[in-house]
Structure 1
Amino acid sequence: MSVSEPEKAAPLSTEIADKDISLTFAKGMEVLEAFESAATPLTIPDLARLTGINRSVTRRLILTLVRLGYLTEAHRAYAPTPRVLRLASGYLKGRQFGRTVQPVMAAYSRQLGDAISLAVRDGSDAIYVAYSPGDPALITSGFGIGSRLPLTATAIGRALLAFSEEAIIDELLAAPLPSFTPATKTDPAALRTDLCETRSRGYARVTGEYEPGVTSVAVPVLGTDRIAKAALGIVGPEARFEENSVCTQKATTLKECAETLASFL
């Protein structure tokens, strides 16, 4: 399945004064994040174009990342090394993903017969932080840990958004909304209606808005304040989810999984 280029992450928090920020470090992170959607190694001109950073500055940042072991170079093109996974290890270890989250997801994945993904909100995207495969004969999302999906065009994104603070929803819907297929909802009013329906029934259901012919179903992992800390989602061919009863049944099982995970996240 195709992977659409993700939207840019949210800007740095305005709560921190500019004088307290290292702009060089911020640019280095921009360069590193540019590899996120790259299927092939990138050259310095590629990275300068993607980040909008001066080419000579980009070169110095790239060479620094090579020296630190986060990038490798071959034929004047650069690619991430496994060392970049260290950046996520603290987050995953701190929440004991391997010891608690993953076994719970695996149990419910077997029960559903579907691959289950766990995502958290990062700016205008949902980012996968855990994944449990289901029946290999069935269609899967084609995404793995670290993949980003838009909040507005996917069920796992809408489950996160529908149970977010109203200010976050207002800010996101005030910006131009990306379109991925002819079915993608880009009208803010239509999306608000969908988010209200998601809150009312307790789960999100999206068909063909991110990829044609694909339906996704997702539920929030709620905190004590009823705000989503994360979301659990499954995907499959549209024909498998045509019956409302099927979606409701799968969403009920996902909610059980979400309630189990809530204390770990």
Structure 2
Amino acid sequence: MPRSPGDIEGVQPVLRSLAVLEALNAAGTATLMQLHESTGLPKPTLVRLLDTMIAGGYVRRISRNAGYTLTERVLRLSSGFRHGDLVVEASRPFLSAITAEHKWPVALATLDRDAMLVRISTRHESPLSTDPDWLNRRLAMLLSALGRAYLAFCPEEERRLILAILRTSKAAMNAQARDERYVASLLAGVRRAGYATTAPMRGDSAMGIAVPVMEGERVAACITMRYLGSTMNEAEAAKRYLGAMQNAAKAIAAAHQRMVLSGA
């Protein structure tokens, strides 16, 4: 049954509120002007929506200069959502435990044909996170720590096929795949070290250290910790966190196998 104009009009405040929540989620904190620019909503409308969400406990006003931010109450909006992929579910407590202990955000990603798809992140649990929200974003195989870890540790035939796809890509993020000597050296170094790191990116102060979640010879997923490169070098990051990351990866693989066997 088609909706009446009145029904559609009544839905608009809800859609506008969701747009504001998404904008605040992406920005972390935002002023009224920034929300106006990102959502296109008039400032008086934004003020009304923000006041309503503040009253509901979903948004907090920091100050006139700093603007607004989300509260922990917004986590209730996603608490009932679950990914179908069991490895994502298996990873939840272990990723949260790493962030609780070491404070940096961690994430898990799975292969999505020619990129790594971020499936879960502790960004909102970390007091030190500076990254935007990468959830459900596709990351380059040869630039991200997640992609490098996957390619280095997946079976040879799978690696050959993925690299063949990347070499035919016209995307700039996959250009390195055409330098076969560079790729072979890069991945051999990752295997020797036992972990992968992010390629240096202009304007990005965060670095990633990633390890695979292995199930036999297969890479079920990869996990990464994101830390500020200005706080420590790669060697120090590996010394501090590699053991915890590898232990978490093993625990995730074991939990995933239990879930599969139990038919969860």
Fold-level match, TM-score > 0.5? yes
For residue 189 of structure 2, what is the amino acid of its counterpart?
E
The secondary structure found in structure 2 opposite 1:264 is helix
Q: What percentage of residue pairs aligned between the two structures are identical?
A: 19
- Are 2:190 and 1:193 aligned? no
Report what 2:233 is aligned to: 242
Alignment deviations for residues 112-136 of structure 1 (CA, whole Å, 9 cap, x no partner)? 2111100111111111122123533
Separation in structure 1 between the aligned mates of residue 190 and residue 252 of structure 2, nearest angstrom: 20
Q: Is the 8 A contact 1:204 1:218 kept in 2?
A: yes
Report what 1:91 is aligned to: 84
Separation in structure 2 between the aligned mates of residue 243 and residue 170 of structure 1, nearest angstrom: 28
Report what 1:217 is aligned to: 209
The secondary structure found in structure 1 opposite 2:216 is coil
Shift in Å at residue 180 of structure 1? 4.7
Larger radius of gyration: 2
The secondary structure found in structure 1 opposite 2:255 is coil
Alignment deviations for residues 199-226 of structure 1 (CA, whole Å, 9 cap, x no partner)? 111100123148644321100011123x
Report what 1:63 is aligned to: none
Q: How many aligned positions are there?
A: 175
Separation in structure 2 between the aligned mates of residue 200 and residue 123 of structure 1, nearest angstrom: 25
TM-score normalised according to structure 1 size: 0.57
Q: Is the 8 A contact 1:121 1:127 kept in 2?
A: yes
Report what 1:71 is aligned to: none
- 1:137–1:89 CA distance, 2 compared to 1 (3 A): closer
Q: Is the 8 A contact 2:88 2:108 kept in 1?
A: no
Report what 2:143 is aligned to: 153
Separation in structure 1 between the aligned mates of residue 118 and residue 88 of structure 2, nearest angstrom: 16
More helix by share: 2
Report what 1:262 is aligned to: 253
Aligned partner of 1:179 among 172, 175, 180: 172
Uncovered stretches (5+) of structure 1, i.e. residues with no partner:
1-38, 41-84
Uncovered stretches (5+) of structure 2, i.e. residues with no partner:
1-37, 40-77, 257-264
Separation in structure 2 between the aligned mates of residue 148 and residue 125 of structure 1, nearest angstrom: 6
Instruction: Write out aligned runs for 1:86-125 (5 A).
Output: 89=82, 91-92=84-85, 94-95=86-87, 97=89, 100-125=90-115
The alignment's C-alpha RMSD in Å is 3.0
- Are 2:242 and 1:251 aligned? yes
Q: Is the 8 A contact 1:208 1:214 kept in 2?
A: no
- 1:228–1:240 CA distance, 2 compared to 1 (3 A): farther
Separation in structure 1 between the aligned mates of residue 202 and residue 114 of structure 2, nearest angstrom: 15
Separation in structure 1 between the aligned mates of residue 203 and residue 184 of structure 2, nearest angstrom: 21
TM-score normalised according to structure 2 size: 0.57
The secondary structure found in structure 1 opposite 2:248 is helix
Q: Is the 8 A contact 2:105 2:128 kept in 1?
A: no
